[in-house]
Structures are given as structure tokens and as C-alpha cells.
Amino acid sequence: MNKPLVVITGASSGIGEATARKLSAEGYSLLLLARRIERLERLGLPNTLCRQVDVMDRESFRHALEEAEAQFGPVDCLINNAGIMLLGHVDTQDPVEWQRMFDVNVLGLLNGVHLVLAGMRERKAGTVINISSIAGRKTFPNHAAYCGTKFAVHAMGENIREEVADDNVRVITIAPGAVETELLGHTSSDDIKAGYESWKDSIGGAIAPDDIAGAISFAYNQPQNVCVREIVIAATRQQP
């Protein structure tokens, strides 16, 4: 028999894709969500349902969850991985970019939690894993709005964890440093992207998505009565 159902948002590349491969190899059933469904389907993972879902669209999100639960059983874990990073100075950055980040990184995350949490509390079991960032713990140049979204992820995760702990539901925050993903490509400023890449080179390169997938697997596979509340993981040479 397959292990319980895990839902991963933003699963078409980077950390989401690596985590899907990792948990699939461990025997979990998966619901993979992203806007680029063709990339999800190319993964070819067994016992996996792939659906084109924008986390801001609650109804399509809900429908995908219902479809997956009908096939694999209740959601045991939601991994809120979908996110965007649009770096810039507040005085010059297009405010539309702030809105997009808060929509996806904060409200989209809340949509997922809202849809799965009641069932988890009723079953007295379940895990929510929120992918945040070191930028949710400290500030960085050009990151003001992005840091705001990730500080929110940390705060919301801990607040929700306190609310559901008595129901035996875990809420875990994973805070990566620089990771080799498509995230930087969202930024529109070539100067900022070049500076970021130069900084990554100076620390010997960013860590790999597989490194984060391993941390997610470690935290999730602990006994249900053990909650690894937060993992901060970065390249050894990364400062800060």
C-alpha cells in the first residue's frame, strides 16, 4: 500500500519538483499543483495526480484536493512551496510586484492551509510544511517587500502551530538560504540579478533543491508526536 497523500504546491520546478521526486521515491501518494501542468506530467511519478492550479484560485484548489482525496484518501501533508521573489528598491519598484508577492506568498499559502486544516484537526493528525526563507528571519538589500512576505510566513506558521498543536497537527517552517532554482529569474532588474549571482559565486554557490527536499523529508517523517518546528538551511559559507 502507498503511504498517505502529500500535496505540493509550486511543484513544477526547483524545491517543489525535488520534493515530489523524494517523497514519491519514499512511497507517498502525491497531488502536484502548479500553473505549468506539462512539467508536472513530465515527471512521470507513480500514484500521482497532477493539476493546473493557481494557489490564488481557491475553487480550483479545492476541486483538486477533493479529486485527490477521492483517489488516495485524506491529505496527510500540505507543502506550501509556491512562491515568487521580485527584488527591488521600494522607491523604484513597481507596486504591482509587491501585490503579486503578497498574493502568492501569503494569501496563496493561507488558501492551502484553510482548505486542509479542518480535516486534519478532525482526524487529529496531519502536517503543514511552509517553505519560507532566511529572508523571513532577517532583512537583505532589495528584499523589503519579499522579506515582508516571508516574515509573514514565519509568523503565521507559528501562530497556526500554537492553535492546532492540541489537535496533534504539526506546522513546520523550512527557511532556506540561497538555492539554485528559478526564483531569481522572476526579478525584473538585471543589475539586481547580476549582483545576486555574483554574491552566490562568492560563497561557493547556492545549495541544491535536493538539499531542501531532504530537510523536508526529515521533518515530515518524524513521528506525529514530534514537531520539528523550524529548519534553517543554507550553504556553509553563506553570510548572512
Residues that are catalytic: 146
Other residues' Cβ atoms within 10 Å of the Cβ of residue 78? 26
Q: Which grid cell is 3?
A: 503511504
Instruction: Kindly tell me the sign of the dihedral angle through the C-alpha atoms of 189, 193, 194, 196.
Output: positive
Q: Which grid cell is 111?
A: 488558501
From CA 20, how far away is CA 68, in angstroms rounded? 15
> Which uninterrupted H or E stretch holds 18?
helix 14-25
Q: Which of 15, 89, 11 minimizes the C-alpha distance to 48?
A: 11
Full strand arrangement of the beta sheet holding 3-9: 48-52, 28-34, 3-9, 75-80, 127-131, 170-176, 230-233
From CA 103, how far away is CA 157, in angstroms rounded? 17
Q: Which of 175, 168, 62 minimizes the C-alpha distance to 123?
A: 168
From CA 123, how far away is CA 107, in angstroms rounded? 25
Q: Which of 227, 6, 233 minimizes the C-alpha distance to 131?
A: 233
